[in-house]
Amino acid sequence: MAEVVLFHHALGLTPGVVGFADQLRRAGHIVHTPDLFEGRTFGSIAEGMSHVEQIGFGEVIERGTRAVDDLPAALVYAGFSLGVLPAQKLAQTRAGARGALLYHACVPTVEFGGRWPGDVPVQVHGMDADPIFAGEGDLDAARELAKESRHAELFVYPGDQHYFADPTLPSYRAEAAALLTSRTLEFLSTRS
C-alpha cells in the first residue's frame, strides 16, 4: 500500500479526478486529493487557466505545498497537468518522497532547484501529438528527466488529447487510459 497525494488539473477537483483517486483507493492505496481551487471547477482548460493566472502559478504550487504539511514524508506525489507543478516540486524538494506520477505534463527539473533526486522513481505519461504536452515543451522536459534519472520511465501514447485519462471528458481515450492506470498501479505496488 502506498500513500499518494493526487493534485488536480486546470478544471479543478472534478468527478474525473476523484474517480481516478477512487480507483487507486480500491487497489488498497491511501489517496489524498487536495483542492487547489477552493471548490471551484471549470468547463474548459482556458477557463481554468484564466483562474490560475488570476491567483498565480506560484500560489497554486504553494497551496499544494501547504496541503502536505500535516502528512507523512513517505508519499508518492501525483498530478494531472497543472497538478504536476506541485507534485514535481514536492517530489524534487521534500525529503522522503517515495515516487512521482506526472500525467500530461513535466517541467524541466531546474525549475525546482536542479536535478531529479536519484532515489525517487518517477513515471511521466502523455500523448505524442498533444498540443500541450508535445507542443509546449513538456515532452522534451520528460525526455531529459528520463536521461537524467535511472529511475524515470516515460510513457508516450499515440494521440492528440490532453486529459485522455478522464472518463468524464470528451478527450477520454479508453485504451490509453487503461494502460496509464495499469502502469500506475504497478508503480504504486512497489512504493509501500
- pLDDT tens string for the chain (192 positions)? 999 999 999 999 999 999 999 999 999 999 999 999 999 999 999 999 999 999 999 999 999 999 999 999 999 999 999 999 999 999 999 999 999 999 999 999 999 988 899 899 999 999 999 999 999 999 999 999 999 999 999 999 999 999 999 999 999 999 999 999 999 999 999 987
* Cα separation, 32 vs 64, whole angstroms: 11
Taking CA atoms, 156 is separated from 62, 70, 103, 143, 144, in Å, by 29, 34, 11, 10, 14
- What 3-state DSSP class applies to 97? coil
* CATH pick for 3-189 out of 1.20.810.10, 3.40.50.1820, 3.40.190.290, 3.50.50.60: 3.40.50.1820
Do 80 and 164 form a contact (C-beta atoms < 8 A)? Answer: no
Domain definitions of the chain by residue range: 3-189
Cell of 123: 513515471
User: Which pLDDT value is given to residue 192?
Assistant: 73
Cα four-point dihedral sign 56, 58, 59, 64: positive
Residue 105's φ and ψ, nearest 5 degrees, are -160, 160
pLDDT confidence of residue 100: 98
- The C-alpha atoms of residue 184 and residue 192 are separated, in whole angstroms, by 13
pTM over 0.85? The answer is yes
Q: Are 166 and 16 in contact (CB under 8 A)?
A: yes
Helix (H, G, I), strand (E, B) or coil at 123: strand
- pLDDT recorded at residue 132: 97
